[in-house]
Amino acid sequence: MTQNFKIGSTYTSTVEASVTDETDVIVAGGGTAGCVAAIAAARNGTDVLLVERYGFLGGMMTAGNAGLTKYIVHEKSQSEYRKVIAELATNPSSVQVVGGIPMEITERLLDMKAGIGTDGTAGSYVFTSSEDFKWLLLTMLEEAGVNLLLHSLVVDVIKEGNTIRGVIVENKSGRQAILAKIFIDATGDGDLAAKAGVPFVVGVGPNDFSAKHGVKLNTTQDMGVMFRVGNVDMKRCFEYLKENPDKFQVQGCALLSLEQARENFEKGEMMTINVDTDFSSPNDFQIYNTPLPGVFTICCPCFPGNGLSASDLTKAETALTKKVRKWMLKMKEMPGFENTFLLNCPQVGVRETRHIQGEYVLTIEDIFKSREFEDGIGKGAHPIDVQPIPESLKKHSLPHKWQFNIPYCCLVPKGIDNLLVAGRCISTTHEASGCTRTTVQCMITGEAAGTAGAMCVKENIRPRDLNADELKKMLKEQRVVL
Ligand SMILES: Cc1cc2nc3c(=O)[nH]c(=O)nc-3n(C[C@H](O)[C@H](O)[C@H](O)COP(=O)(O)OP(=O)(O)OC[C@H]3O[C@@H](n4cnc5c(N)ncnc54)[C@H](O)[C@@H]3O)c2cc1C
């Protein structure tokens, strides 16, 4: 019988998928958190398959030019911040909140001269060359013995009661089913968990300050692009800014004075500066150096929308491509940037979509109070990065000796017995995710999820039954700072 299709009607079909593989752990998403999760699970003795929709690894760090932030406690003022940096150089463990695989990655990047970090150490911000980063991830995954399936999108799950039996992936070969004992959702958007029926909140939820202050429920942070430009004469730019101090701003991530930024730059260390060039959002024009001579990352034209909507993503790509072009033309008017060119602007970056609901939901109050958790699997030190920051939160935005703890139960989704989440989709409120969604924090949750996943396979237990002390012991042995 032929069906009469019109817009709004539904097409139903049965699509077959052959079971092609079986493994211990499947990690969905080979981005910031997923690669670390896969390495941790494999190093802990399990067979791991990492499934990634693109042909390369690294997620937002390679497809979005993001830097590695934040390794050390954050201090209120710039002078205090510099004290921390100085302390880091002499006594790293006193202020270091990150160890384990994220630190190993950073050290390897710095050793390869493919990373650039504050004060020459793995300090507060490290920028990498994306191509070297892709290579390093492949190398580390290979060393750990992780199996890879690239160009493959996880589109569905096979469920038996509360247990996931397998994932359905779609790629150029068609549809395949792959079975595993434990699944780790590191897709950023929580695609796998959502398909498995785990509850989630998109963007602002009812318990956020923002909701109480009039921001509409489900509002997500803007999407944005970090793009890279080549052939910049930064020396000339510094001279221009010295003569035009009103164009230079100390704010946001750019906490260095002009002199300090110049000093860092000349020493080949990380620097971030904010420049007011009368772009549409002047405060957002930040320049970061990279390990590549003459190459700089520029941040960050933004666009509102829902990162789970293909239509909004398309609108964002279209609008931001045009915006970057405008910025490029404006930028060329600035001394030092006259001969610059757009090196890359891979694709729009999504800051926020689903917050998968776990056994615990981390709140901004937990973060402000540096609440300790018995099952804490790592620390973070990133100040709250939600845009716009609600007035009521502003006074809290950079507390003294800022550091917070991430509990394991935020990685354990409700309702499913063999699933863990890692990365930006872990169980937090919208505002707490402004602290936990940064790259290094995502890697920390990746290492914990991978390690926990491997332990669960070996002990044949559910992630929610894992002994947190045993997990912490294992993480400590991996140099994770707890
Ligand atoms: C514009 C912008 C700038 C930023 N700048 C910084 C910064 O400078 N410093 C910082 O610390 N943080 C920054 N962030 C935040 C940070 O980059 C991300 O929040 C973090 O990298 C997210 O890590 P993740 O592993 O959760 O997701 P991702 O790194 O995005 O990785 C998810 C991976 O899963 C894959 N995937 C998705 N769905 C599927 C599927 N269904 N099947 C298979 N694979 C799938 C994706 O292709 C991707 O590789 C920025 C974010 C944005 C948007």
Q: Which atom of ligand 1 lies at the shortest distance from residue 125's CA?
A: 9
Residue 281 pLDDT grade (very low, low, confident, very high; cuts 50, 70, 90): low
425: pLDDT strictly greater than 60: yes
Give 99-122 pLDDT, tens digit per residue. Answer: 899 989 988 988 888 888 764 343
For residue 231 the two structure tokens come to: 């052939």
For residue 354 and ligand 1, the question of a CB distance below 6 A is answered with: no
Backbone angles phi, psi at 480, to 5 degrees: -75, 140
Residues in the chain: 482
Buried/exposed 169-182: b ≥16 CB within 10 Å, e otherwise: bbeeeeebbbebbb
Distance in Å, CA 2 to ligand 1 centroid: 43
Residue 224 pLDDT grade (very low, low, confident, very high; cuts 50, 70, 90): very high
Distance in Å, CA 94 to ligand 1 centroid: 29
Question: What pLDDT shows up at residue 248?
Answer: 82
For residue 295 and ligand 1, the question of a CB distance below 6 A is answered with: no
Question: What pLDDT shows up at residue 272?
Answer: 81
**Which residues contact residue 234 at a Cβ distance below 8 angstroms, ignoring those fewer than 6 apart?**
265, 289, 296, 336
Average pLDDT over residues 180-206: 98
Question: What pLDDT shows up at residue 84?
Answer: 59
Q: Which atom of ligand 1 lies at the shortest distance from residue 422's CA?
A: 26
For residue 301 and ligand 1, the question of a CB distance below 6 A is answered with: no
Name the residue of 39, 60, 345 to mutate for ligand 1: max ligand atoms within 8 A of Cβ.
Answer: 60
User: In angstroms, how far apart are the furthest CA atoms of the chain?
Assistant: 77
Handedness of CA 55, 60, 65, 67 (dihedral sign): negative
Give 324-379 pLDDT, tens digit per residue. Answer: 999 999 889 889 999 999 999 999 999 999 999 999 999 988 988 889 999 999 98
Q: Looking at this protein, which amino acid is placed at residue 148?
A: L
Give 41-92 pLDDT, tens digit per residue. Answer: 999 999 999 999 999 999 999 999 998 876 665 544 555 555 655 665 566 5
Distance in Å, CA 232 to ligand 1 centroid: 27
**CATH dotted code for 16-207+352-482:** 3.50.50.60
**Which residues contact residue 305 at a Cβ distance below 8 angstroms, ignoring those fewer than 6 apart?**
220, 222, 223, 312, 313, 315, 316
Range of weakest confidence among 71-75, 187-191, 215-219, 351-355: 71-75
Question: What pLDDT shows up at residue 91?
Answer: 60
- Structure pTM? 0.94
Asked if 382 and 403 touch (Cβ cutoff 8 Å), the reply is no
312 compared with 246, residue with greater pLDDT:
312
Question: What number of CA atoms fall less than 13 Å from residue 461's CA on the CB side?
Answer: 10
Nearest to 404 by CA among 434, 377, 355, 366: 366
Residue 256 pLDDT grade (very low, low, confident, very high; cuts 50, 70, 90): confident
Distance in Å, CA 4 to ligand 1 centroid: 41
Question: What pLDDT shows up at residue 177?
Answer: 98
Average pLDDT over residues 123-134: 84
Question: Strand 272-275 vs strand 248-249: parallel, antiparallel, or unpaired?
Answer: antiparallel
Average pLDDT over residues 440-454: 97
Instruction: Give the residue whose CA is nearest to atom 5 of ligand 1.
Output: 66
Asked if 382 and 435 touch (Cβ cutoff 8 Å), the reply is yes
**How many other β-carbons are positioned within 10 Å of the β-carbon of residue 281?**
11
For residue 289 and ligand 1, the question of a CB distance below 6 A is answered with: no
141: pLDDT strictly greater than 50: yes
325 compared with 280, residue with greater pLDDT:
325
Residue 282 pLDDT grade (very low, low, confident, very high; cuts 50, 70, 90): very low
102 compared with 271, residue with greater pLDDT:
102
Which of 33-37, 88-92, 384-388 holds the top average pLDDT? Answer: 33-37
Question: Strand 48-51 vs strand 147-149: parallel, antiparallel, or unpaired?
Answer: parallel
Question: What pLDDT shows up at residue 90?
Answer: 61
Domain regions of the chain by residue span: 16-207+352-482, 223-344
273, β-bridge pairs: 287
Distance in Å, CA 313 to ligand 1 centroid: 15
Name the residue of 226, 439, 443, 444 to mutate for ligand 1: max ligand atoms within 8 A of Cβ.
Answer: 439
Mean pLDDT, the chain, whole residue set: 89
Question: What pLDDT shows up at residue 400?
Answer: 46
For residue 300 and ligand 1, the question of a CB distance below 6 A is answered with: yes
**Which residues contact residue 291 at a Cβ distance below 8 angstroms, ignoring those fewer than 6 apart?**
113, 114, 115, 116, 127, 128, 129, 132
